[in-house]
Structure 1
Amino acid sequence: MSTSSHWSFSGRILLSSGFVLTCALLALAIALHHQVPVLFACSVILLVSLMMLFLLLGHYTRRRQRILATLEDGIKSIKDGDLSLRISPTPDPDLARLIDLYNQLTTNLKQQKQKLNQKELVLDSIVQASPMATLLLDKQRHIVYHNAAARQLLKKQPGALTGSSLEVACDDLPTALAQALNSGYTGMLSFEQQEQKHTYYLGVEPVTLNYQPHSLVICKNVSAEQNREEIMLWKNAIRLISHELNNSLAPIQSLTGSAQTMLSQQKHLELLPDMLDTVSQRAHNLSDFIQRYAEYARLPAPSCAAHAIAPLLERLQALYPFTLLGTVPADTGYFDVAQVEQVLLNLLKNAHESGSDKGEISVRVVQSQTRLRFAVVDRGSGILPGNLHQALQPFYSTKAQGTGLGLSLCHDIITAHQGQLRLRNREKGGLMVEFDLPLGENPH
């Protein structure tokens, strides 16, 4: 290969121009030596020189255009996902570096694609083996991905699920579960079917796939786990009630026996009033204890009406002081004021008993579309992260003398208002309890 083949495009133009100019000057000198008319000689030599220059430039340009066209095809292939096209090296120094970068790019992309495919295969294997039903929906709510648990839940073959709408895919599910999935419900769902209680956990998260919005839907039947947990809770409740009854009945029985002995012997009768007061007090405490459980068991349906938020907070602030964050929404909420007041009382009482400084206990109320969102925060001891899911269950308590009914009662009241109550530990210590209520009679 000649040295000129490594010249740049501009260098070749200069070389070609110099060569043609040299030839033209030689031709002119020869023509003048043979006494050819100057004008005629110059015209012919100029014409021939321009033709030679155009031919050389056309050759170089066509060669360069072929390389650029090949490079363009390669870039289009990358855009279409085809990384197999490689371009042979060129002696043109202007394009050699560009082609080398293109070949390096395709090699790197191919390696990254292979690694990504391997990760996708591993992730797909994990998701397919997961006992939690997983569905990926596009923005039209059509199923674009599903795992084995989802096919088992929906009772469908793989070919019948891909591309079908979620509503059609849920046609064999119980009505309550199908409605919850189609509405995008997140949380625990319980319903009865054929005289059996079923409990499912549902979750929906927005994701982006190929620059398009999608929804990731998960669903798991937790009926067995829920039943085991309920059995353990009721066992704890029975032990708690038995303990409280024994604590109250044992001294009552002892004091009653002593009183009978005093009466039969007619001795120490002056002690009888104190003994009877003690028996009365223990009986009163036992009555209060049983009353709390009775109230939990027969929680009435909420009697909702329109209520302003500010007067409610003012009444509560007189009982359990707190700092009001932000401005209270002017719109009225639609709720049972007595029940919601009881919820806030329980939450504020817990905040004051959590060890938090009173100045760190705050309440915020914000309006979000058709809902009112409440948050009660403190800087107390919080709840152990592993126990957050149990804190809303009945009879679970972190307090030595707690009955485990306060947060559970709050949860039931908010659920009866078609809301959700959530617990979250704060980063610098303390707890945040959030719940929402409807703004109007028909919030949905």
Structure 2
Amino acid sequence: MRRLNSLEGRLTGLLALAGLCGALLYAGLTEWPLPQLLAWAHDDLKLDIPGLAAMGTYGALLLCLILLLPLAWWLAHGVMGPLKRLLRALEGAVASYRDGDFSFSIAMRRRDELGDLIHMHNALGQTLREQRQHLAQRELLLDTVVQNTPVALVLTDAIGRVAYANIAARHLFNEGRSLNGLDFANLLAGAPEALRTAVDGHEDALFTVDMDGSEETFHLSQRAFRLQGRPHRLQLFRRMTRELSRQEVAAWKRVIRVVSHELNNSLAPISSMAHSGAELARRGNLERLPGVFATIGERARHLHGFIDGYARFAKLPTPQVVPVAWPAFLDGLALHCRFRLVGELPTQQGWFDPAQIEQVLINLVKNAHEAEGDADEVTLAIGVVSRDVRIEVADRGPGMSQNVLAQALLPFYSTKRSGTGLGLALAREIVEAHGGRIALANRAEGGLRVSLLLPLAPP
């Protein structure tokens, strides 16, 4: 039954009907009843129709063709009519979809391939309507979240005009009024210089400005991307004053704990030794006094070194970047620590402060030797990655846990009982002052790898 209702089945039936009609018409013209009618008219009515009497086979075919043309047109109209109506409906649906209206549906009821196409079209329209409704709900949710976030968000187009701004941005730049369509550069004309400089830098930045009689610190994130094929720039201004204050208080508390612990560890023995020395002197037992004074001196030197380490961390000088030849630099480094060089040296010379980077590598190699592993497996590798030089110090120790890896570069954080927590933090300060970065990672085959990335060219 399904095959009979198909377009192919209907077309086959119509062609068979047209063929049958043509055969019957031809038979009527050549066999019966037209020849008999002509003979009756000639014999009884004495009518002579010479054209019809001498029509012959070709004439009959021509007359069949003439008579079948209206029938063929009627059958073609019957076949193509629904298809034409469907095409017009589909054309209207496409135009409706192009205009963003997905409410269009086709009401034809058929049980053939066209019916299947209509059903699929209506199902597609329903799916698009549901997806658009869900998308509108998600956009509304996203807009609500973005509008009410405390981070000021500004989206500008290729010519610098504001395409979108949330409530925080309107209050930050235009006293709560809308920013859409305004030139962002003109809005920043009266802004503090630090803010304008940060925005003009087209990079992430941290800056401080005077607002309402107090200093406010912001973190600026900037990203360029294409929206609907056109370039745009997204800028996020996050207030960091409270967060920095909390971090500053936490850092000071950590410093106070470390300094207090270290001072107690040194002052308690010094106080005890001083009391013991006074007792020995009072009793006249002078032969033990040099040992007492030596202990006091050793603890004083340790305390001096501890305080000096903090002072060096707080007074890190600006790097004096110069071209550095790798062979000479490594020869000097080898005088202070032991390591095994892995791989070939880069042909490009380095650009950094040799004294500061040497101190960083001495500390890293020393830490690697202190790890529980084979000291001969402490390796140093130097390579070029894009526009940076990568220096890697690796060992075969136990590595670090994920918690330690996340905090190892923070100042005053140390897992060593006698550590100050300044070694890796100082290394980070030096590397970042060079415009580079430092990263720690566990090796897959065991051990720790510390990587320094330094620019190959002077800043």
TM-score, with structure 1 as normaliser: 0.81
Summarize deviations over 1:234-281 as a string: whole Å, max 9, x none. 233234334333332333333334334434443x32222222222221
CA contact (8 A) 1:301 1:416 kept: yes
After superposition, where does 1:356-371 map in structure 2 within 5 Å? 359=377, 363=381, 365-369=383-387, 371=388
CA contact (8 A) 2:277 2:289 kept: yes
Q: 1:296 to 1:25 in 2, by over 3 A?
A: closer
1:227 to 233, 245, 254: 245
Give, as a single letter, the amino acid of the residue that structure 1 aligns with 2:245. N
> Gaps spanning 5+ residues in structure 1: where?
none
Q: How many residues align?
A: 432
Pairing 1:280–2:278 present? no
Q: Counterpart of 1:175?
A: 193
Q: Counterpart of 2:274?
A: 256
| Separation of aligned partners in 2, 1:71 and 1:78 | 10
Aligned-residue Cα RMSD (Å) equals 3.7
Pairing 1:185–2:203 present? yes
Summarize deviations over 1:416-443 as a string: whole Å, max 9, x none. 32334456678998766555433223x4
Shift of 1:26: 2.8
Shift of 1:344: 2.9
Q: 1:143 to 1:103 in 2, by over 3 A?
A: same
After superposition, where does 1:431-442 map in structure 2 within 5 Å? 433-441=450-458
CA contact (8 A) 2:368 2:378 kept: no
| Separation of aligned partners in 2, 1:245 and 1:47 | 120
Q: Counterpart of 1:75?
A: 94
Q: Counterpart of 1:52?
A: 71
2:310 to 290, 293, 306: 293
Q: Aligned residues: percent identity?
A: 35
Pairing 1:103–2:101 present? no
Pairing 1:333–2:350 present? yes
Q: Counterpart of 1:397?
A: 414
| Separation of aligned partners in 1, 2:18 and 2:277 | 136
Give, as a single letter, the amino acid of the residue that structure 2 aligns with 1:29. A
1:29 to 24, 27, 30: 27
Shift of 1:45: 1.4
Q: Counterpart of 1:14?
A: 12
Q: 1:332 to 1:361 in 2, by over 3 A?
A: closer
CA contact (8 A) 2:170 2:178 kept: no
Pairing 1:159–2:163 present? no
| Separation of aligned partners in 2, 1:151 and 1:423 | 41
Secondary structure in structure 2 of the residue aligned to 1:159: coil
CA contact (8 A) 2:195 2:209 kept: no
Q: Counterpart of 1:88?
A: 107
Secondary structure in structure 1 of the residue aligned to 2:435: coil
Secondary structure in structure 2 of the residue aligned to 1:218: strand
Secondary structure in structure 2 of the residue aligned to 1:199: strand
| Separation of aligned partners in 2, 1:424 and 1:134 | 35
| Separation of aligned partners in 2, 1:144 and 1:357 | 60
CA contact (8 A) 1:333 1:439 kept: yes
Q: 1:42 to 1:70 in 2, by over 3 A?
A: same
Summarize deviations over 1:127-154 as a string: whole Å, max 9, x none. 3222223344556665443332333333
Shift of 1:99: 1.3
Q: 1:220 to 1:400 in 2, by over 3 A?
A: farther
CA contact (8 A) 2:365 2:393 kept: yes
After superposition, where does 1:126-141 map in structure 2 within 5 Å? 126-136=145-155
Q: Which moved more, 1:421-430 or 1:290-299?
A: 421-430
Shift of 1:306: 1.1
Secondary structure in structure 1 of the residue aligned to 2:217: strand
| Separation of aligned partners in 2, 1:420 and 1:173 | 32
Q: 1:65 to 1:138 in 2, by over 3 A?
A: same
Give, as a single letter, the amino acid of the residue that structure 2 aligns with 1:295. R
Pairing 1:384–2:384 present? no
Summarize deviations over 1:384-408 as a string: whole Å, max 9, x none. 17x83x6544333343322122233
Secondary structure in structure 2 of the residue aligned to 1:346: helix
Shift of 1:83: 0.9
| Separation of aligned partners in 1, 2:210 and 2:372 | 45
Q: 1:263 to 1:94 in 2, by over 3 A?
A: closer
Q: 1:354 to 1:262 in 2, by over 3 A?
A: closer
Summarize deviations over 1:46-100 as a string: whole Å, max 9, x none. 1221342134214532431231232233234334432111111242612111111
| Separation of aligned partners in 1, 2:16 and 2:112 | 21
CA contact (8 A) 1:233 1:396 kept: no
Q: Counterpart of 1:246?
A: 264
Q: Counterpart of 2:41?
A: none
CA contact (8 A) 2:102 2:125 kept: yes
| Separation of aligned partners in 1, 2:316 and 2:128 | 62
| Separation of aligned partners in 1, 2:207 and 2:329 | 32
| Separation of aligned partners in 1, 2:445 and 2:157 | 38
Q: Counterpart of 1:372?
A: 389
| Separation of aligned partners in 2, 1:429 and 1:150 | 49
CA contact (8 A) 1:421 1:433 kept: yes
Shift of 1:221: 1.6
| Separation of aligned partners in 1, 2:424 and 2:217 | 20
Q: 1:235 to 1:91 in 2, by over 3 A?
A: closer
Summarize deviations over 1:326-377 as a string: whole Å, max 9, x none. 65432223221111222233344445545577648665543323x4355556
Give, as a single letter, the amino acid of the residue that structure 2 aligns with 1:273. P
Secondary structure in structure 2 of the residue aligned to 1:384: helix
Shift of 1:314: 6.0
Pairing 1:147–2:147 present? no
Q: Counterpart of 1:308?
A: 325
Q: 1:141 to 1:423 in 2, by over 3 A?
A: farther
CA contact (8 A) 2:399 2:443 kept: no
Q: 1:129 to 1:263 in 2, by over 3 A?
A: same
